[in-house]
Amino acid sequence: MNSLVRASKQALQNAARSYASRGAGGERDVVPRKVAILGAAGGIGQPLSLLMKMSPHVTNLALYDIAGTPGVAADVSHMNTIAKVKGFAGEDQLHEALEGSDVVIIPAGVPRKPGMTRDDLFKINASIVQGLIKACGEACPKALLNIISNPVNSTVPIAAETLKAMGVYDPKRLFGVTTLDLVRARTFYADAIGVDVNSVDVPVVGGHAGTTILPLFSQARHQGQAQKELSAEEIDALTKRTQDGGTEVVQAKAGKGSATLSMAYAGALFADSCLRGLNGTAQTSEYSMVQSEVTSCPFFASKVRLGPSGAEEILGLGELNELEQKGLDVAIAELTASVEKGVKFAKDGSL
C-alpha cells in the first residue's frame, strides 16, 4: 500500500490517543479547515461524521441533512478531538452549513437495496445531488467537492454541468470518490496471497459501478513474501469480486442496508487526502474520478496528485496486460454512456 494510504489509515485508526492530547493542549500548528458533510444523518453519513471528527486536519465540522443532524452533531461533539461540530437540518440551513467550507463530502441520497439497479438509484439521487451542488456553487464555490452519492458515474458529470451553468466550475475541485474500490481490491488481494494488507497497493481505475471498475492486478505491489502466486483464474475471480463488492454487502445484509461502514471509511480516507493536499503535504495522491483526458471518456478514475488547488496532476494508467486492456474497452463504453446520461439530466432534467 502506498505511503499516503498507510498514513491516512494510521491517522484514523490511532485517532483517539493522538487527538486527545491535542484537545488537551498539545499541538497548536493545525491549519484551520472546515469540512461539511451533506447527508450526515444517513447510513454512510453518521460513521463518516465520526471518522471526520477524528481527523487531525478538521477544525470545523458541519453536519447537514434534512433531519436528524442536531442529534448526530451532539453525539460526535462529545469526542475529545479538535474539530468543533454543528448540526444543520432543512434547506433553510444548508447555506450556513456550507459557507466557508474547504471540503464538502456528499453521501446524500438513498442506498441501494436488493433488486435495485444503479439506474433506479439514478432516478432518485440525481435531483438530490443537483440541488446540493447548486447550493455548493453559491455558498462555497472554491471548496473541494467529494461526490459519494450513487451512481457516481452519473452524479459527477451532473455536478460538473450544474457548476458550469452557474459559471463556477473548476475541474480540479470536483472528485468522484472511488476509494472503496481500492480498499476492496487491496483487502481481497492481500488475503489471496497471504500478506499484510498494509503492505499492498493495487491500482483501480475506470468508474464506480460493475464492469467500469477495473483493478489492475498486473501492477499490484506488496512488501514481504507472498504465500502463493495467483493464477489467471484467481485474478479473474478477484476482479469480479471487486466489481461486485457492493452487491455482496447488499445481499449479506438481506435488505437491511448497503455498504455504509466501508464506504464511510473509504470516504474518510479520501477526504483526509484532500485536506493533506490543501495543506501542501508532499506526494499526496489518490485514485478518483475526475475530468480527464487519460482515455476517451471525459470523466475517468485514475491516480491524481492532490495539492492546494485540488487535482494538480492526473497520471496515466501505466502498462496494461491483454485482459486489462479488454476490460478497459468495456469500462470506457459503459462509463461513457453513464456520463452522457448524467450530462443529459443536468441539461434538461430527462432520464
User: Catalytic amino acids?
Assistant: 208
Residue 148 annotated in ligand binding: yes
Neighbours of 178 (CB within 10 A): 30
Residue 173 annotated in ligand binding: no
Nearest in space to 281 (alpha carbons), one of 11, 52, 88, 23: 11
H-type alpha helices, 54-166: 69-77, 94-98, 118-139, 152-166
Residue 292 annotated in ligand binding: no
Cis peptide before 56 (omega within 30 of 0): no
Residue 115 annotated in ligand binding: no
Residue 45 annotated in ligand binding: yes
Residue 321 annotated in ligand binding: no
Residues paired with 289 in a beta bridge:
176, 301
d(CA 119, CA 139): 30
d(CA 125, CA 109): 5
Residue 307 annotated in ligand binding: no
Residue 43 annotated in ligand binding: yes
Site of grid cell 465520526: 50
Cell of 180: 472503496
Residue 220 annotated in ligand binding: no
The number of angstroms, rounded, from the C-alpha of 7 to the middle of its chain's C-alpha atoms is 17
Residue 125 annotated in ligand binding: yes
Dihedrals φ, ψ of 212, to 5°? -75, -15
Q: Where are the beta strands (DSSP E) in the chain?
A: 34-38, 60-65, 84-89, 103-106, 144-147, 174-176, 200-201, 204-206, 213-215, 221-222, 285-291, 299-307, 310-314
Residue 124 annotated in ligand binding: no
Residue 150 annotated in ligand binding: yes
Residue 167 annotated in ligand binding: no
d(CA 198, CA 290): 26
Residue 41 annotated in ligand binding: yes
Handedness of CA 246, 112, 44, 300 (dihedral sign): positive
d(CA 17, CA 250): 34
Q: Which parts are annotated binding residues for NAD(+)?
A: 39-45, 65, 125, 148-150, 263
Q: Binding-site residues for substrate, please? A: 112, 118, 150, 184
Binding residues: 39-45, 65, 112, 118, 125, 148-150, 184, 263
